[in-house]
Structure 1
Amino acid sequence: MARRRHVCYLAAMPDDLPPATPLAPADPAVLGLDAAALAEAVRFAQAHETPWPRDLRAHLEGGHFEPPPDNAILGPVAPRGGPAGMILRRGRVAASWGDVRRTDMTFSVAKSYLSLLAGLALGDGLIADLDEPVAARVRSPQFEGARNGAVTWRQLLTLTSEWEGTLWGKSDVIDRNRDLNREGKARKGEARPLRAPGTFWEYNDVRVNALSLALLHLFRRPLAEVFRDRIMDPIGASRDWAWHAYDTARVTIDGVEMPSVPGGGHWGGGVFIGAEDQARIGLLVARRGRWEGRQIVPESWIDAIADPCPLKPDYGLLWWLNTDGARAPAASRRSLFASGAGGHVTWIDPERDLVSVTRWLDPAAFAGYAERVVAAMRD
């Protein structure tokens, strides 16, 4: 079957941008880390590569998430690289491994990036209150009617919206009853009876994509451009990353056709980025939204994303939490995680002034990796 040619809809980078600012390395001992124990954590990460094959297109088309026809790819997909990662302590690089500048798919890590964009929208006054219905600010068919018209920003950000519909050719039914513990065992979505918005938690990519569309209506320019101008450029990121839309995801705003980016790579597309740029984003969050004296993301938003959802205490505003220690027993209970299928985790541990990025690490091995990182700390 002929494959469609996908296009990257991130606007071209300006020619006058400065090169990426290097993240400064430091001797582990200066950062309060035992070098030998830290090296063991790195070896562990390198030795526990994700079981996913390098050919990601074949993996997704083979039904990793769901069987045909719901598994149809709508956006770009690229072969993956090998394990890579970085460990930062006190804002300095203590260790790195693999190709940390290679741009790879990140899957649901993009959800946490959408959360940062929502924080910008709230800070700009484009969102007045997270508990306000999206329909109060966004005039779009996707947020009309008794159900969808009542959905709030907070419900979209906590995955409790129960939004119903088809967006960009994908129905929310595909991800109904999705069990994250059974990823890799393709199943058909079941049209279970919907609950009232705000009363049921469910990991549903179509509903996250509805949030992305709503944010696009607020900013009235492609979210990849907003993310570049408001976050990535100010923190000295590279020019290599991109946020790809589906071929079907187009909307006209103010007479201009724009892409609406997804919050994952479930059906292709999403954020393609290197571990070093991800470490910058993690450090921005660890520094409570500040970078070199400038407040990039409202500080209040950093608190908001870590507020547990009452229906899912280990989930905040599109960020995973460690409130019960289940994700990583060795990590502090205040830890935040931007996590994506296939083994992508940005781990922020504010109690230890730690930022870790792991790429293509077997998810089953993450807790063991975190235990070894913590064991390397001497103060």
Structure 2
Amino acid sequence: MSITFPDPHPVSWPEASPAALGLDGARLAEAVAHAAAHETPWPYDLAGHIGRGGFEPPPDNEVLGVLWPRGAPCGMVTRHGVLVARWGDTREVSQTFSVAKSYLSMLAGIAVADGLIPDIDRPVRESVDDGGFDSAQNAPITWRHLLTNTSEWEGTLFGKADSIDRGRNLGVEGQGKKGSRALEPAGTHWEYNDVRVNRLSLSLLRVFGRPLPEVFRERVLGPVGASADWRWDGYRTSWVTLPDGRRAQSVPGGTHWGGGVAIHAEDQARVGLLALNRGAWGGRQLVPASWFDLSTQPCSLNDTYGFLWRVNKSGSWLPSAARDAFFASGAGGNLTWIEPSSGIVAVLRWTDPAAMDGFIARVRAAIAG
């Protein structure tokens, strides 16, 4: 079935009854009720949550970027680009935490298409000469290593050391460090490490020579008709000088220490629809289709992780989703679920992560019905 692309914001998304899109309305309503009834356990005061050690204890938890109170739970479900369900305020702007990582992946794909990154398997230092890849530990790191969280980059960036996230236990959200460990050679160990993702973001800023929010607006959110209500903030410590003499903030791939992408569910769904259509929007290729082929393949060291997207080919990430599904996932209960085989793009904001698979199971039951 062909994809329907929504008109630019503020026009409402095209809507249809669930039945018109091949969905059982009652079962879809059960999915919506399930999501609405399972709010994230995180408090509304995000600054207080992180400041009290929500991710790690002092002094490593020092907040460097802006933090706002989170919004109430909301979300939406689309099929083939048509809205079939929504709940809450889908135009409420909140920070997204690591959903931003998947947006960095798109920007990396654009940099490759523009020739700014000639080969993702070549060392980053061949394109970025700022001292960050000079050491023996860091010199072999490639763009692929950064994109798959296998870089083992060592250092301190914008006041945060990579060791803060080294050995972190992701089994329980926000649990903090399980224990320190020795570094491995680049490409031999997978670790979810926000400092290293921020090193990727700074490297992309270097090759574009422009603030990444400008590039994201021009190349992605503008062409898909998103609102102007989003923002992507850096840290007070992340200002750098560009070749043209301008000062710009390098932006993080999340909200671990504040900042990051603040956006509403409808704009997130537009990005998800672009990903569903492998980077094309209304006949225009914004991100290379081949980049999504690469991005949604599991890396060799983690079968649930691609190029800063969560993937489901093993069925171990969110078991109720189809095996071709992939996700932009952020702490606190933020998820964009993209499923090519069913045409589903769904956005969940501030939903208890423990309830997400149940939501997906109910939506897929509605398709089966």
TM-score of the alignment, normalized to the shorter chain, above 0.5: yes
Asked whether 1:152 is paired with 2:160, we answer no
Deviation at 1:142, TM superposition (A): 1.0
Q: Is the 8 A contact 1:21 1:237 kept in 2?
A: no
Q: Does 1:211 align with 2:206?
A: no
Are the counterparts in 1 of residues 168 and 176 from structure 2 also a CA contact under 8 Å?
no
Matched with 2:158 is 168
Contact 1:175 1:189 in 2 (8 A): no
Task: Assess if the C-alpha contact under 8 Å between 1:65 and 1:186 holds in 2.
Answer: yes
Contact 2:169 2:178 in 1 (8 A): no
Question: Which residue is equivalent to 2:4?
Answer: none
Match of 1:233 among 222, 225, 248: 222
TM-score normalised according to structure 2 size: 0.96
1:197 maps to: 186
Q: Is the 8 A contact 1:115 1:317 kept in 2?
A: yes
Please, which moves more after superposition, 324-333 or 369-378?
324-333
Give the aligned partner of residue 133 of structure 1. Answer: 123
Counterpart check, 1:80 vs 2:70: yes
1:258 and 2:248 correspond: yes
Letter in 2 for 1:142: G
The question of 1:304 aligning with 2:326 is answered no
CA contact (8 A) 1:67 1:188 kept: no
Q: CA RMSD in A?
A: 1.2
* Partners of 2:73 and 2:349 within 8 A in 1: yes
Q: Say if 2:236 is the partner of 1:247.
A: yes
* Gap runs ≥5 in structure 2: 1-7
1:107 matches 2:87:
no
User: How many residue pairs get matched?
Assistant: 361
Work out which of the residue numbers 303, 312, 316 in structure 2 matches 1:313: 303
Task: Give the partner amino acid of 1:39.
Answer: A
The reply on whether 1:366 has 2:356 as its aligned counterpart is: yes
Superposed CA deviations along residues 234-285 of structure 1, whole A, max 9, x for unmatched, are: 0000000000100100111212211100000000000000000000000000
Is 1:279 aligned to 2:269, yes or no? yes
Using the alignment, how far apart are the partners of 1:140 and 1:196 within structure 2?
21
- Tell me the residue number matched to 1:3: none
Instruction: Give the C-alpha shift of residue 378 in structure 1.
Output: 4.1
In 1: Cα distance, 2:106 partner to 2:176 partner: 31
Aligned to 1:56: 46
- 1:23 corresponds to which letter in structure 2? W
1:46-87 CA-to-partner distances (Å, cap 9, x unmatched) read 000000011111100110110000000000000011111010
What is the rounded CA distance, in whole Å, between the counterparts of 1:365 and 1:327 in structure 2?
A: 13
State the shift of 1:184 in Å.
Answer: 2.9
How far has the Cα of 1:186 moved from its partner? 3.8
CA shift in 2, pair 1:78/1:189, >3 Å: farther
Between stretches 319-328 and 19-28, larger displacement belongs to 19-28
How far 1:90 sits from its partner (Å)? 1.2
Percent identical residues: 57
Question: Is the contact made by 2:65 and 2:236 (CA closer than 8 Å) also made in structure 1?
Answer: yes
Counterpart in the other structure of 1:10: none
